[in-house]
Amino acid sequence: MSMRTILPIRRVANIFGAIGYNLLVTACAIAIGVGLLQLAWSGALEIIGIRPEIICVPILPSSPPESAPPSLPLAIKALDVVLTLIVTIAVLCAVIVLPYWLGRFSSAVLRRVIKLCGKPVTLDLLLFGKVLVSLVGTALALAISLYDPRQWLITVVLLAAIIAALVIFAVQHCLAKISKTVKAADVW
């Protein structure tokens, strides 16, 4: 293989890794958020000062607005448009750049944990670590369903995302194993 084929294979493998990490981190974040919301609704978080009344706010206003807001000056409308454009551009940049940095950071944390265990970082240990992290996400998703069986749809969606992340990690592992030039240090 020439030197030109090394980079594309590594990039493709790392794209799969970044997508897998994004699915996994998103599923775990949703599971933690739903779990905390359920605990708050049940009153289990009153110990730290979060009462269920704070979480359960009415959706509809109790009374209609009395009058229409006065028209705004042109300068305030222009400022509103400029701020909206700035926020839109910032959000678009974050959405584009976030998967790359999330994949890179997650991989670095996993590598550090493997090194703390006193093991050399290999492709097989990276896949094993990703499977263990996926099991933690699965446990969180199942805990939601066990705590409140009515949340079965959220559990199914989270488990589907975790399974998709595992499949993507397996494809990444196979790509790295098939290509003889990609080493564990190159793989996210």
For all residues of the chain together, what is the average pLDDT?
A: 81
Rounded percentage of the chain residues whose pLDDT exceeds 90: 15
C-alpha closest to that of 186 among 3, 1, 7: 7
Q: What is the pLDDT of residues 32-55, one digit of tens each?
A: 888 888 877 777 777 777 676 666
Collapsing DSSP to helix, strand or coil, 137 comes out as helix
Tokens of 51: 């009462």
Q: How far apart are CA 114 and CA 186, in angstroms?
A: 15
More confident residue, 7 or 176: 176
DSSP classification of residue 179: S
Q: How many CB atoms lie within 10 A of CB 26?
A: 15
Element (H, E) at 75: helix 74-116
Tokens of 36: 């905390």
Q: How far apart are CA 36 and CA 152, in angstroms?
A: 16
What is the arithmetic mean of pLDDT over 51-78? 63
Q: What is the pLDDT of residues 88-120, one digit of tens each?
A: 888 887 777 887 888 888 888 988 999 999 989
